[in-house]
Amino acid sequence: MKRGFTLVELLAVIIILGIVATITTPIILNFINSSKTNALLDDANSLIKISETYYSENTYNNESLIPVKITFASHNQTAKGLNKQNVCTSKSNILNYGGESPETGNILITSDGKITLYIYNSGLKKCAYKGPNDKTAKIVNKTKDECQITTDVC
């Protein structure tokens, strides 16, 4: 007597595995997408805290730029703002951010400490936004071109 599986038994197992894969794949992909979206929000909220710290530490510093617009492009940050002598000045990497800088986006810190943030993630095609009176960031339905601060400080 030979022991083994028949062709019908093997096909039944393959069909069952296919059904399980069909059911679980969308669930796993949704979980991954949700995790990436939460990571975008965490990054945005971290940048808000760092911006608040920048404002607190530099309000009375003659070298600081307040108001300032920080622009992220290709994971690099540049800042343009007014120094204490009201001269328009540009600097780079003014925020001490431990993680990787966002791909694209802007942060605006006004002279009264209000922070507006737009950060876009092209992999997710999602925009994180925080208005000047909001406490935390949220995901908004904006394109890459719409996910930015259009006003300049100088």
Strands of the 88-92 sheet, one edge to the other: 88-92, 76-82, 68-73, 104-109, 115-121, 126-130, 138-140
Structural domain includes residue 149: no
Structural domain includes residue 95: yes
Q: What pLDDT score does 83 carry?
A: 84
Structural domain includes residue 102: yes
DSSP string of 103-127?
SEEEEEE-TT--EEEEEEETTTTEE
- Is the backbone peptide bond immediately before 67 cis, with ω within 30 degrees of 0? yes
Structural domain includes residue 100: yes
Number of domains composing the chain: 1
The whole-number average pLDDT for the span 23-42 is 94
Handedness of CA 68, 78, 122, 46 (dihedral sign): negative
Structural domain includes residue 50: yes
Q: What pLDDT score does 4 carry?
A: 82
Contact 24, 112 (CB under 8 A): no
The whole domain housing 70 covers 7-140
Contact 50, 79 (CB under 8 A): no
Q: What pLDDT score does 63 carry?
A: 66
E strands along 53-103, which residues?
Answer: 68-73, 76-82, 88-92
| Model confidence pLDDT, tens digit, residues 78-131 | 999 988 788 898 998 888 887 778 889 999 999 899 999 999 999 999 999 999
Structural domain includes residue 89: yes
Q: What is the pTM (predicted TM-score) of this model?
A: 0.83
CA dist., res. 20 & res. 26, Å (int):
11
Structural domain includes residue 59: yes
| Model confidence pLDDT, tens digit, residues 36-90 | 999 999 999 999 999 999 998 887 766 678 899 999 998 889 999 988 788 898 9
Structural domain includes residue 2: no
